Every structure is written in C-alpha cells, then in structure tokens.
Amino acid sequence: MICPQCGHNNLEGLDSCEACFQDLSTLDVPQPTEGLQKHIMAGTIGQVEFPFDRLVVIEPTDSVAHAVSRIKVAGIGQAVVVEDEKPVGILTERDLLYKMTGPEIDLKKIQVKEMMTPNPDAVEEGDAIRVVINMMSVGGYRHVLIVKDGKVARIISAKAIANYILDTSALDFYSAGGEGPSKSFAIRLRQVKIRHLPLRSPALVERIASMRETIEAMRSTHRGVALICDHGKLVGIFTERDLLKKIIGEPVNWSASVEQFMTPNPAKLSPDDSIVRAMKLMYEGDYRNTPLIDTSGKAAGVVTVRDVITYFAELFPKEALNLPPDPYQKMATPDGA
Amino acid sequence: MGDNGQTKTLTLTKKDFVSDQEVRWCPGCGDYSILAQVQKVMPELGIPKEKIVFVSGIGCSSRFPYYMNTYGFHGIHGRAPTLATGIKAANPELSVWVITGDGDALSIGGNHFIHAIRRNIDLKIILFNNRIYGLTKGQYSPTSEFGKKTKSSPMGVIDYPIKPLSLAFSSEATFVARSIDGDPKHLASVIDRLAKHKGSGFVEVYQNCNIFNDGAYEYFSARDVRDDRTLYLEHGKPLIFGKDKNKGIRLNGVRPEVVTIGEGGVRVDDLLVHDETAPEPNLAYILGRLEYPEFPVPMGVFRAVQKPTYETMLEAQIAQDIKVKGPGNLEELLNSGETWLIGPDGDQQPAKSTA
C-alpha cells in the first residue's frame, strides 16, 4: 500500500503510514479512480435517464385483474404496491409466471397482496450506480424502486443501467485526446464477446409444445424467456411480456401450441458478437432478452440484460459485487482484534 | 395463499434466509458474494429452515452463522468440524454446514478438519481461503504464499503453504470442489452440488480480503483474463480451456501438460477427460495441484464419490444393538457396577441395581 503523502510502500491493511504517520485507513475501501469504475462509483442514480420506465402504482387490496389491466395499458411489466404511501411490494411478470397455475384462475378474486413479492428493496436518487448494479446482479432483480422521503418516486430498470454503462463508455471512447486508462478500458470492452458473459442455460421449447409446457419449461429453468425451436432451429421467442400481454387474463386455452403466441423471427445475435452490440440492440430494440444462434441457425442460448449487468458486477468485484446490505455502513466500533 | 388448487407459491425465497443482523465484514470483502450465493441456493434445496444448521469456528468467515436465518453456532477456534460432527451424529435429519477459513481449518483446526473429512460424516464444509489472517489484522496463514511479506513475516514467509485440496484428497474426502467469490454463477453451482452430496463434502472458495491481501487471486480471476487462466472442470468432458476454447490439458506419463488443440497434431481426443467419480483420487490430486502460470487454475468439482456415511452406519449400529440387547436404561447403566453406597458410619457397600 503506497502512502499518498510520502510514497512509502507499507504492508497492506496498515492504519497509518510507517514512515510519515499519514492516515491510511480510508485507502482500504474502494475509491473512484477512472473510466467505468469511476462512473459506477461516483455516478448517482439521479444521473441515469429513464427512457422506458413508467410507474404504475396499485394497492395491496386491488384485484390482480385490475393490476394486470393497468400494467398492460402502461405497456410495462410491473406495478409497485403501495400502502399508506409506502412501498410494500412489487407485482411483476415473474410473479405471474410462477403463481398463475392455469387459465381457470379468476384474477378478479385474487388480491394483489396474495401474488406480489413483498418488501421490495429500494434506493434513493443520491445512491451510487454500483449499488443498483449490486442489487440487480446479486438479488436477481430487473427493477429497483427509487424512494424519496420513504415514498415511491420512480423505478429503475436493468436496461436503464445498461444504457448508462453504454453511454459513459462511449463518452470515454470518443473523449478528446483520450489515450488514458479510461479509453483503453472502453476499447477492451468492445472486444468482450457475448459468450464471455455469465450466460445461463436457456429454456428450449419445440414450436408444437403447448402453452402449459412452455410455461412449465420457463418455471423449471427459472428463465423469463423460452426459445421456440423447430428441430433445434430458432423460430421464435416467448417471453414473460408475451405471457402478460397475450395469455394472462385472456380467454386462452393453455393446451394451444406456443407457436400462436410467440414472437416469430426475433432479432438474433451470435455468441461471438460483442457485448457492446448486444447492449446496443437491447437499447435500440427495447429488448430484455436476445436469442443467440450458431452458424447453422440452431438456438445456442440467450443473452439477457441481467447477464450484462452481472458481467459488470464481476468486472468490479470490490466496488459492485461485494457490498454490505447497507452499502455505506460505517461500524460504530471496530470488530475483532 | 398456499396450494389452494388455484394458485401456487414458492415455499421459501432467498430473503427467508437473510437474518436481521448487521453484516460486519469490510465493504468489498469477498465474503459478501459467498453469503449471497449460499442464501440463493438454500431455498432451492427444499429443506425447511429449522432443519439447517451453520457451524463456524473463529475468524472473519466464521461470523457467517449470524447472517443466516437458520440455526447457527459460532463455535470455538478450529473446532467447527467437531461440533458439527456431534450435531449430525445426534440428529442426522439436520443439514449441517461448516463455515471455516484457512486459519481456522488448516492451522489450529487442522486435526479436527481431516478427521471430520475421513469419517465421511454428512457435513458440508466451506473453507474461505483468503491466504491471510484478516480478523487479527494481517498475519500470514497456512495458505499464504512462500515469500509473502505480512505483519508477521516482514522479510517474507519461509513456511511452505498447505494445499487444501491435496489435504482433502489425502483425508479420503468423498466430495472435493473449488470455486471463487468473484464468479457467483459458478460458486452457486458448486454450493448446490455440495448441498446435494451425501457424506463429508469440502469446498475451497478463493476469497479476496480487500484490506489485508487485496487482489490475492486477481492474477488468474480478473474478469478480462479469467477465461484464459481458468480451467472449468466438467464431468465426462475433456479438459479444455481458454477464451477461444482451443487449449487443453494432456497427460504425458503422469505429468500434466498444456497443449493447443490443432497444433502439433493435438486433437481433442488426446486430452485428459475429467472423471469426478474415479474410485481413486489420483487424477483429481494431479488436477488439484495445477497452478498458474504453468497451468490454468482448475475450478469445479474434482471428486464426487459415494460411500456409506458415518451417521447412517452409527444409526445402524445403534439399531442393531437395541435389537439384540433391548432399548436400554440409562439409570441401570450408571448403576451397573463399580459403584458404592457410603453408609452413615462411612462403610462402603457395593450398590445394588435399582432396576
């Protein structure tokens, strides 16, 4: 550990410099340096633009049918459940995927509080980007609530965070006279391929499979998207959003084949395409999931916006992956020796 | 809501395993990643919380039981495997986990560690290896590298480090794996395998101490070099690694070597095929000792074999003895011989059985 005052090379973890007694205790915790590391540490949630997020607020005693219709009208995938102006839950497409067991369920008779995910985690606008990256990668969330004075203000999506990273990295890439570490990092980022991301195995379903089988495949693999194939060849995708828009609350027979409800010929990428290309496609097309195909057109996997966020968390383990539940916690008393 | 025929809920979620205790590791510590992945895997096992126990010794990692919303035991230094053995022997229904560190398990607790493993009692042992004593502020540990300068080795360590995997193999472990804090997906998969193993399972987790040994594993695990310097073990598959999946491990006699597929006539068929179920751990031992820069660092399950476990054999012996001798009576046993009654005048008389 180099002393910033006198340059003495100290043993790691010393509280003060052995040569000049300079306080070194603050050097132990990660500090913003440059490039993306600086952007995610010093950048705050308030600085992120929200191109696609609208807020739908419902109450715990509302019917799920009411909530679903409002979510559909807004064209989004979740609603925030509020009681006495405080967030008590979030009702997402994922909740519906797991908790709707069949078309016979009367959503008018089920209250939101029975299906929602209770006690959602929340951040404030002044929190650093890395805090949200941590929550999304470690907690597996695609949306995080932003509260102000305890009340729900906005909701931030994984896509918005991915866009922030893309934008700041582009700024570093094109910055004037930039030959420093920020630019070299931005260049290296462009060389990362999709197959280097922590991809998860996809839910693969043949086009003749029933709606019920497709939903079961998504549940058992914990995926929000199923790749619909014809003898292994990708012909479409079926996502949680399709489930919400076309199945939930609609008079649909779950024995019908998924082919009728899938999105045919989706935008596709190769595992050898760059991560930047995937992020751009997600941004421009407003996709959360992009299927991957090999050279013969066979389904080779799927890249999701969460995989992208998790990659960046792993890229900065100290700054973004390994945060305390209270990211700004300071111990009142020292622990241990 | 529950299973009322209309809707279905998942029984437990990750949040159910998060305790209300303030987590007191330093910000940036690799322990956070390990905690998060254990909490993620737990609900997927389908084991009720009241059937799970986390036992630890002393050290930073040993604070772990406080943060799990299960039963827990912050034990004495090095003795976590021993306490856990007692818990499992007394109540084999429990899922018993041991959380320990390189100092706790390999220094003061070395003996307890190897004997718990050789007994093949059904414990899930996770060793957080940060190659330093963190809680006591930076002295070298049994896994610190030769030559490393620390507070207790200002001129460099002159001990040769223990290799935890080698120790586990030679202690006859039935399940041996390795993962790293910075690769959460891999870590979760290894913890899941550990949870499902029946017998003494051992996982070494490379963990970064960002205060006293920062970047201990960056040389091979940093995100941009990881694919070229890590060998992910997959059962039944040839040992291939590298960003372009074009490098492999081949055995030349009993010596492993790195080869490039397609160069010098090397084909995939020439590569060593990983077999985690091999009856003898010889090949796993060779893999467990591969180190960067000569080799990529292997990650994953090295060995997973089945043997009767200690607690099932113990239960069988007790059942057999009850069958032969009856259920037994503790008071009778205590008075069954070598006991005396002291009379009012100090006379000693052999005590009679009260039964």
DSSP secondary structure, A169-218, as one string: HHHHHH-TT--SHHHHHHHHHTT-BGGGS-----EEEETTSBHHHHHHHH
Which parts of A224-333 are beta strand (E)?
225-230, 233-239, 263-264, 289-293, 299-304
Of B31, B138, B184, the CB nearest to A13: B138
Q: Which residue has the higher pLDDT, A188 or B102?
A: B102
Q: Which of B27, B154, B212 sits opposite A324 (nearest CB)?
A: B27
Please state the rounded mean pLDDT for residues A189-203.
Answer: 90
Name the packing angle between helices A158-174 and A129-139 (round to 10°).
Answer: 130
Both tokens assigned to B285: 């031992």
Find the range with the poorest average confidence among B47-56, B140-149, B287-296, B336-345.
Answer: B336-345
Above 50 in pLDDT, residue B74?
A: yes
What mean pLDDT, rounded, does chain A reach? 89
Please give the pLDDT value at position A189: 82
Which stretch of DSSP H or E encloses residue B196?
helix B184-196
Contact of B157 with chain A, judged by CB distance below 8 Å, is answered with: no
The mean per-residue pLDDT over the stretch A158-180 comes to: 79
pLDDT at B349: 74
**From the list B1, B7, B32, which residue is nearest A324 (CB)?**
B32
| Helix H or strand E encompassing A157 | strand A151-157
Burial B262-299 (b: 16+ CB within 10 A, else e): eeeebeeeebbebebeeeebebbbbbbebebeebbbbb
Highest-confidence segment of A105-109, B276-280, B349-353 = B276-280
A28 pLDDT higher than 90: no
Question: What's the sign of the alpha-carbon dihedral A44, A130, B66, B92?
Answer: positive
Q: Does B137 contact chain A (CB < 8 Å)?
A: yes
Choice among A43-57, A290-304, B184-198, B275-289 with the minimum mean pLDDT:
A43-57
Contact A290, A277 (CB under 8 A): no
B6 residue type, one letter: Q
Extended strands (E) in B133-206: 175-180, 201-206
DSSP E strands in chain B: the ranges are 52-56, 71-74, 95-101, 123-129, 175-180, 201-206, 230-232, 240-241, 247-252, 255-260, 297-304, 340-342, 348-350
ipTM more than 0.90?
Answer: no
CB–CB of B31 and A322 under 8 A? Answer: yes
Residue B102 near residue B164 (C-beta atoms within 8 A)? yes
Longest dimension (CA), chain B: 97
Reported as a single tens digit per residue, the pLDDT across A56-84 is: 999 999 999 999 999 999 988 899 999 99
The phi and psi torsions of A152 (rounded to 5 degrees) equal -70, 125
Structure confidence at residue A210 (pLDDT): 96
The pLDDT of residue A9 is above 50: yes
Q: Pick from B235, B237, B217, B216: which is nearest to B226 by CA?
A: B217
pTM, whole model, 2 decimals?
Answer: 0.91
CB-nearest to A317 from B18, B151, B208 is B208
Hey, is the C-beta of B12 within 8 angstroms of any chain A C-beta? no
Is A22 strand, coil or helix? coil
Q: Could you give the residue ranges of the DSSP H alpha helices within B197-280?
A: 218-221, 226-229
Q: Does A259 touch chain B (CB under 8 A)?
A: no
Q: How many angstroms separate the CA atoms of A198 and A200, rounded?
A: 7
User: Which percentage of chain A shows pLDDT scores above 90?
Assistant: 61
Q: Mean pLDDT score of chain B, rounded to an integer?
A: 93
Give the model's confidence band at A334: pLDDT under 50 very low, under 70 low, under 90 confident, else very high: low
Which pLDDT does position A333 carry in this prediction? Answer: 62
Provide the token pair at B279. Answer: 């009856």
Q: Is A12 an 8 Å CB contact of chain B?
A: yes
Residues linked to residue A92 through DSSP beta bridges, in sequence order? A78
pLDDT value of residue B9: 46
- CB atoms near residue A80 (< 10 Å): 22
- Nearest-CA distance B227 → chain A (Å): 8
Residue whose structure tokens are 């995080």: A144
The CA-atom distances, in angstroms, between B273 and each of A199, B109, B277, B284 are 24, 35, 12, 11
Give B16 to chain A, closest Cα distance, Å: 12
B103 interface with A at CB cutoff 8 Å: no
Q: Which residues pair with A234 in a beta bridge?
A: A229
* CA dist., res. B222 & res. B225, Å (int): 6
Q: What pLDDT was estimated at residue A168?
A: 87
The more confident residue out of A32 and B238 is B238
A130-139, A179-188, B176-185: which has the minimum mean pLDDT? A179-188
CA distance B308 to B122: 10
Looking at chain B from residue 13 to 52, which residues have their Cβ under 8 Å from any Cβ of chain A? 14-15, 18, 22-33, 36, 40
Encode pLDDT of A114-134 as tens digits: 999 999 989 999 999 999 999
What pLDDT, on the 0 to 100 scale, is given for residue A50?
Answer: 67
| Residue B143 backbone dihedrals phi, psi, to 5 degrees | -105, 5
